[in-house]
Amino acid sequence: MTSAVSVVKIRLMENALVDLRNALRERLAIIRDEESRHDKRAHLGRLQNISQKIERLEAAVPRPLDPQLAHYLKRKSYDKALAHLEARDD
Whether 1 shows a pLDDT value over 70: the answer reads: no
Distance CA 87, CA 90 (A): 5
Number of folded domains that form the chain: 1
Tens of pLDDT, residues 43-84: 999 999 999 999 999 999 988 899 999 999 999 999 999 999
At CA 33, angle to CA 47 and CA 16, rounded to 5?
50
Mean pLDDT rounded to a whole number for the chain? 92
- The pLDDT value recorded for residue 38 is 95
pTM above 0.85, yes or no: yes
Which helix (H) or strand (E) covers residue 41, if one does? helix 40-60
Domain residue limits at 53: 2-89
